[in-house]
Structure 1
């Protein structure tokens, strides 16, 4: 398995594969901003928008590929455009295909994004995740700090409103 940073062009070229990952993630119950069932055309359109954001430098995207070159995971960093926020980034859309879970890929993608953010001079990362989700364990065990929980923040793929916990992590010294 390998993890690569993809340009906006590469995201656009592989948008179909990324859409398959997104639909699998939503179908497995992960709360990543979409309701089930998520159709492939909608997931494809969403990734094409991300390609434009990556081309504009607003988003950095990494993809994890298996030996057959199949997309089995992804993570992104969203960069704010305000002058007072150049020191931080938001970790978004950490996804691992159901067939690849439980093998440390989520942790590897998380570490990749953290290292890249630090190398780019970012000193603070933040994210939000569904309270009580498996992702929460990953973030806590990787040194992220819970900043608070917001009730009924987002709908799970089933449509049920769920709480979300906000996390942050300081990078570097």
Structure 2
């Protein structure tokens, strides 16, 4: 099955519901996207609303991946830097692939679409992201060309006694 990616899709109820369902499923499967399971859509809705408001305000861009049935199965948010000395790179946030679709190349397709989109943004020279240590996702990003450029030990408290590193990664375009 192929993943079709779209930058800056129309944000309507269908898309919003699809992203909310994806974010909930990814979170409940243990994905490191800002929550610890169990969560409901109501838990995630405020974060989604803030992210979509930033897209509408032009502060972020949204990349959505859909499967052959046009279901939302992957997303990534790209955020511009507002600091005048850092406008040459963008942040990559909330990268998600549905747990049932992982291992099929969707993550690589999504990151390739992110890279292609970033190359089309005027003046952007790099993509920066952070990820939660202990999940192995940093190894996946490394296979996609991202380099670890920093690590803050025990910065993320998943649960009492379960602190994870916050890993900073960069892809130079």
Q: TM-score, normalised by structure 1?
A: 0.89
**Paired residue for 1:144?**
146
Counterpart pick for 1:123 among 118, 122, 125: 125
**Paired residue for 2:166?**
164
| Residues 56-114 of structure 1: per-residue CA shift (max 9 Å, x gap) | 11111111111222111111111111211211101111101111100111111111111
**Paired residue for 1:23?**
24
**Paired residue for 2:55?**
54
Q: Say which is worse superposed, 68-77 or 128-137, in terms of deviation.
A: 128-137
**1:132 CA drift (Å):** 3.5
**1:19 CA drift (Å):** 0.9
**1:142 CA drift (Å):** 1.4
CA separation in 1, counterparts of 2:78 and 2:133?
21
Residue ranges of structure 1 left out of the alignment (5+ in a row): none
Question: SS at 1:25's partner residue?
Answer: helix
**Paired residue for 1:80?**
81
| Residues 22-61 of structure 1: per-residue CA shift (max 9 Å, x gap) | 1111111112111322211122232222111001111111
Structure with the higher helix share, 1 or 2: 1
Residue ranges of structure 2 left out of the alignment (5+ in a row): none
CA separation in 2, counterparts of 1:12 and 1:138?
32
* Aligned residues of 1:127 and 1:167 also touching (Cα < 8 A): yes
Q: TM-score, normalised by structure 2?
A: 0.89
| Residues 137-169 of structure 1: per-residue CA shift (max 9 Å, x gap) | 22111121111221111133x563211211112
Q: How well do the aligned residues superpose, as a CA RMSD in angstroms? A: 1.7
